[in-house]
């Protein structure tokens, strides 16, 4: 178990933090207000190796570890959690192709995914299948060497702006065993998109429904065998949960940093705010909670890298704890800023809005508790 970062990891973190400070943070409020999806900036990040962080290097990936990825996503999120989170989703979709795809599929898609010339969306959730993802109903019927797709995906990050959809569809009977994974070019005839959703946060990335109406997708675009799609989706989510938690920590760290600067300068009752013991204690608790969550993410990431039997449970634990902590720290930062925290120009309210959804996506925090409890009960039998 690592309790200190090595020189390479420190350099990675610092590189991502510098990129966030220079290329992302100065524009984050405008991107949020204008609902701008900064593809050009994300491609600049990809040029530094962040488009395929844990993709094998023979197709242009960086070949890094899950712990390395957590450091990168936390650092990027100090600039904007929304942008960092989308790069995380893109990496998750690319990893699924790298891990479960054929050599032909890897060579076809991954070089462009790693540069983000081609950008991917992960398509699992449906209007009637959120937490109960195994109940998804999008149907893919075999017709010769193609599948014919009909159905709808909901809440898909990047939809309408990305070029590739990694989608879980039903090729067999009910339940998890009837699900397969298809890689679908977004310009496939019969694929369309809903309106960009109006959201509380995450405005710097579009969120739309993906609609399949007799869309024909080659059988050659399936990842793995029929019926293993749910396992592929869940394997992707183990790492995705760590990534999104790291994004929560980065956003919360930025909020804490803003609070430290604000309480140093703001005065009340003749003293600086950071001279009041009650506020000192609050700042201390915010930092303690963040450090505990960060250590948890590193522990779970190391377990996932080593493919430990408890890795899925640890990822769920870290996600539940870390995203709750991230939101609460950001919310406390808003409170410390008083009325100014409620104004958009200070950037705190945007962080609060962005981090709230992290407690819902990649599996709600209630589902994280379910995953943990099932594993504990199973091990106790």
Q: From the CA atom positions of the chain, what is the Rg in Å?
A: 21
d(CA 46, CA 50): 4
Q: Let me know the angle formed at the C-alpha of 290 by 289 and 291, rounded to the nearest 5 degrees.
A: 95
User: Is 226 annotated as catalytic?
Assistant: no
Catalytic residue chosen out of the listed positions 22, 345, 362, 366: 362
For residue 352, the tally of other CB atoms under 10 A from its CB is: 24
Residue 119 dihedral angles phi and psi, to the nearest 5° = -115, 140
- Give the residue among 270, 262, 268 at the shortest CA–CA distance from 335: 262
Q: Nearest 5 degrees, angle CA 373-CA 374-CA 375?
A: 90
**Distance of CA 357 to CAs 145, 276, 292, 366, Å?**
39, 33, 21, 13
d(C-alpha 143, C-alpha 137), whole Å = 18
Structure tokens given for 70: 């957590």
**Cα–Cα distance for residue pair 273/84, rounded to 1 Å:** 32
Active site residues: 362
């Amino acid at each position: 178990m690592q309790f200190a970062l090595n020189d390479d990891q420190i350099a990675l973190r610092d590189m991502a933090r510098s990129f966030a400070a220079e290329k992302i943070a100065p524009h984050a409020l405008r991107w949020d207000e204008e609902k701008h999806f900064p593809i050009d900036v994300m491609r600049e990040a990809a040029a530094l190796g962040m488009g395929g962080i844990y993709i094998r290097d023979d197709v242009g990936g960086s070949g890094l570890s899950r712990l390395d990825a957590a450091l990168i996503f936390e650092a990027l999120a100090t600039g904007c959690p929304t942008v960092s989170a989308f790069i995380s989703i893109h990496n998750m979709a690319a990893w699924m192709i790298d891990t479960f795809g054929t050599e032909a599929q890897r060579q076809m898609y991954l070089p462009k995914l790693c540069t983000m010339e081609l950008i991917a969306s992960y398509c699992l959730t449906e209007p009637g299948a959120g937490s109960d993802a195994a109940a998804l109903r999008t149907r893919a019927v075999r017709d010769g060497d193609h599948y014919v797709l009909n159905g709808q995906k909901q809440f898909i990050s990047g939809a309408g702006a990305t070029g590739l959809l990694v989608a879980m569809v039903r090729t067999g009977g009910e339940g998890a065993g009837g699900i397969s994974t298809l890689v679908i070019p977004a310009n496939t005839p019969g694929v369309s998109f809903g309106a960009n959703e109006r959201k509380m946060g995450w405005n710097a990335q579009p969120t739309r429904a993906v609609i399949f109406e007799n869309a024909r997708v080659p059988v050659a675009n399936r990842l793995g065998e029929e019926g293993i799609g749910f396992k592929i989706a869940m394997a992707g989510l183990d790492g995705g949960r760590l990534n999104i938690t790291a994004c929560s920590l980065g956003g919360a760290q930025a909020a804490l940093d803003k609070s430290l600067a604000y309480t140093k300068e703001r005065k009340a009752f003749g003293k600086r705010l950071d001279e009041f013991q009650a506020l000192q204690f609050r700042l201390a608790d915010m930092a303690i909670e963040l450090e505990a969550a960060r250590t948890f993410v590193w522990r779970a990431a190391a377990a996932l890298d080593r493919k430990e039997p408890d890795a899925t449970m640890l990822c769920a634990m870290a996600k539940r704890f870390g995203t709750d902590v991230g939101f609460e720290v950001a919310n406390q930062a808003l409170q410390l800023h008083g009325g100014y925290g409620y104004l958009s120009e200070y950037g705190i309210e945007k962080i609060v809005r962005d981090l709230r959804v992290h407690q819902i996506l990649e599996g709600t925090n209630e589902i994280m508790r379910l995953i943990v409890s099932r594993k504990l009960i199973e091990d106790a039998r």
